[in-house]
Amino acid sequence: MPTPSASSDPILDRLASSDCAVKFKAIREVKNHIIGNRTKKHSYIKLGAVPAVAAALADSDPNLIVQSAAALGSFACGVDDGVRAVLDAGAFPRLIGLLSAHDEKVVDAAARSLRMIYQSTLAPKYDFFQEETMQFLLSLLESENENLTGLGAGIVIHSCKTIGEQTILCHAGVLEKLTSLLDSSLSQRDASLESLAAIIRDNPAAVSEFVELHGGRALHSVAELTKDRYPRTRLLACLCLISVKNSSTCYLQDIGIKTKLVYILLELLDDSGQVGDEASFAFSSLIAEKEDLQKLAFEANAINKFNCLLQKHPVQPKRLEGVFLALADLCSKLECCRSSFLSLQVLNLVVDALTHEDASVRTAACICLRSVSRSIKNLSAGRFMNERVVCPLVQLLSDLSTSVQVAALGAISNIVVDFMPHKSTFIECGGIKELVQLTKSMDSSLRLNAVWALRNMVFLADKICKEGIFVELTASSMASLICDPEPSVQEQALALVRNFVDGCVYSVEHAFAEDGIILDAVGRQLKKSTKIEIGIQGMYVLSNIASGNEFHKEAVMQLLFPQDENVSHSFFEQFLQSHDSRLRTAAVWVVVNLTFPANPGAFGRIVNLRSFGIVSRIKKMVNDSCMDVKLRARLALGQILTFGDS
Amino acid sequence: MPVRVLENTAAPSSQVSGANSGRSSCQSCSLLGVGQAFSGTQNVSSVQKDEAWRVNVRIQGCDLEHGYLCGTMEALNVPMADTPVVTFWEGEIVDTKNYTFFTGKWEASPEDDIRHWSKFPSFSPLLGQVEADGGKSLDLSNYPYIFMRWKEQYFVNVGTDCGLTIAGFYYICFSCSDGSISGFYYDPNSSPYQKLELKSTNDGRSGFSFSSYQLQ
A194 touching B, CB under 8 A?
no
Of B61, B208, B214, Cβ closest to residue A456: B214
Least Cα separation, residue A592 to chain B (angstroms): 7
More confident residue, B52 or A279: A279
Per-residue pLDDT reduced to its tens digit, A535-554: 999 999 999 999 999 989 99
A255 touching B, CB under 8 A?
no
Say if B204 falls within a structural domain. Answer: no
Restricting to A residues 159-178, those with a Cβ less than 8 Å away from any Cβ of B are none
Alpha carbons B93 and A157: distance in angstroms, whole number: 50
Does A12 have pLDDT greater than 60? yes
Alpha carbons B138 and B129: distance in angstroms, whole number: 7
Does A108 have pLDDT greater than 90? yes
| SS3 of chain A: helix, strand, coil, percent, to 5 | 75, 0, 25
Which parts of chain B fold into alpha helices (H)?
110-117, 127-133
**Contact: A544, B210; criterion CB under 8 Å:** yes
Least Cα separation, residue B187 to chain A (angstroms): 23
pLDDT, mean of residues B53-62: 90
A456 touching B, CB under 8 A?
yes
Q: What is the CA radius of gyration of chain A?
A: 33
**Contact: A631, B142; criterion CB under 8 Å:** no
Say if B182 falls within a structural domain. Answer: yes
Helix (H) / strand (E) element for A466: namely: helix A463-473
Say if B131 falls within a structural domain. Answer: yes
Q: How confident is the model at residue A177 (pLDDT cuts 50, 70, 90)?
A: confident
Restricting to A residues 309-348, those with a Cβ less than 8 Å away from any Cβ of B are 335-336
More confident residue, B46 or A321: A321
**Over the range A188-208, which residues count as b (16 or more CB within 10 Å of their CB) and which as e?**
bbbbbbbbbbbbbbebbebbb
| CB contacts < 8 A (A, B) | 125
Chain B residues touching A502 at Cβ < 8 A: 35, 209-211
pLDDT, mean of residues A465-477: 94
How many structural domains does chain B have? Answer: 1
More confident residue, A274 or A445: A445
Q: How confident is the model at residue B18 (pLDDT cuts 50, 70, 90)?
A: very low
**Over the range B177-187, which residues count as b (16 or more CB within 10 Å of their CB) and which as e?**
bebbbbbbbbb
**Contact: A495, B27; criterion CB under 8 Å:** no
Which parts of A483-549 fold into alpha helices (H)?
487-500, 513-528, 532-546
Is the separation of the CB atoms in A266 and A234 below 8 Å? no
Per-residue pLDDT reduced to its tens digit, A334-378: 999 999 999 998 999 999 999 998 999 999 999 999 999 999 989
**Contact: B211, A413; criterion CB under 8 Å:** no
pLDDT, mean of residues B199-209: 87
Q: Based on the number of CB atoms within 10 Å of its own CB, is B147 exposed (0-12), middle (13-18) or buried (19 or more)?
A: buried
Q: How far is CA A230 from CA A227, A241, B195, in A?
A: 9, 17, 65
Say if B58 falls within a structural domain. Answer: yes
**Over the range A513-547, which residues count as b (16 or more CB within 10 Å of their CB) and which as e?**
beebbbbbbbbebbeebeeebbbbbbbbbbbbbbb
CA angle A578, A583, A584 (to 5 degrees): 65
Restricting to A residues 595-624, those with a Cβ less than 8 Å away from any Cβ of B are 596, 598-599
The set of residues, in sequence order, having a beta carbon less than 8 Å from that of B198 and lying 6+ positions away, is B38, B39, B40, B55, B57, B180, B181, B182, B183
Please give the pLDDT value at position A311.
Answer: 87
Strand partners, B169: B151, B186
Asked if omega into A421 is within 30° of 0 (cis), the reply is: no
Interface residues from chain B to A (CB-CB < 8 Å):
15, 27-30, 35, 58, 60-61, 70, 72, 88, 90, 141-144, 153-154, 156, 176-177, 202-216
Please give the pLDDT value at position A351.
Answer: 97
Say if B195 falls within a structural domain. Answer: yes
Of A381, A413, A502, Cβ closest to residue B216: A413
- Which one of B24, B29, B30, B88 would you mutate to disrupt binding with A, by most A Cβ within 10 Å of its Cβ? B30
CA dihedral for A101, A103, A107, A112, sign (positive or negative): negative
Please give the pLDDT value at position A363.
Answer: 98
Task: Locate the domains of chain A by residue range.
Answer: 8-123
Residue type, B129: Q
**Contact: A381, B72; criterion CB under 8 Å:** no
Chain B residues touching A460 at Cβ < 8 A: 35, 211
Closest to A548 (Cα-Cα) out of B39, B37, B32, B209: B209
Is the separation of the CB atoms in A394 and A355 below 8 Å? no
Alpha carbons A189 and A159: distance in angstroms, whole number: 19
Does A330 have pLDDT greater than 50? yes
Coil, strand, or helix at residue A309? helix
**Contact: A376, B210; criterion CB under 8 Å:** no
Please give the pLDDT value at position A235.
Answer: 97
**Contact: B35, A459; criterion CB under 8 Å:** yes
Q: Under CATH, to which class is A8-123 assigned?
A: mainly alpha
Per-residue pLDDT reduced to its tens digit, A594-639: 999 888 899 999 999 989 899 998 999 999 999 899 999 999 999 9
CA dihedral for A69, A71, A76, A81, sign (positive or negative): negative
Does B7 have pLDDT greater than 50? no
ipTM score for this prediction: 0.89
Per-residue pLDDT reduced to its tens digit, A403-424: 999 999 999 999 999 898 878 8
Q: Torsion-angle region of residue A503: left (phi > 0), alpha (psi -120 to 50) or beta?
A: left
Angle, nearest 10°, between helix axes A186-200 and A163-171? 120
Alpha carbons A336 and A338: distance in angstroms, whole number: 5
Of A380, A504, A553, Cβ closest to residue B60: A380
Restricting to A residues 436-455, those with a Cβ less than 8 Å away from any Cβ of B are 449, 452, 455
Say if B29 falls within a structural domain. Answer: no
pLDDT, mean of residues A171-197: 91
Say if B81 falls within a structural domain. Answer: yes
Alpha carbons B160 and A476: distance in angstroms, whole number: 49
Proportion of chain A above pLDDT 70, given as a percent: 97
**Average pLDDT score over chain B:** 82
**Contact: A504, B28; criterion CB under 8 Å:** no
Say if B212 falls within a structural domain. Answer: no
Chain A residues touching B210 at Cβ < 8 A: 498, 502, 540, 543-544, 589
Please give the pLDDT value at position A84.
Answer: 87
Coil, strand, or helix at residue A467? helix
Domain assignment of residue B187, given as a range = 36-199
Alpha carbons A415 and A378: distance in angstroms, whole number: 10
Please give the pLDDT value at position A566.
Answer: 55
Does B2 have pLDDT greater than 70? no
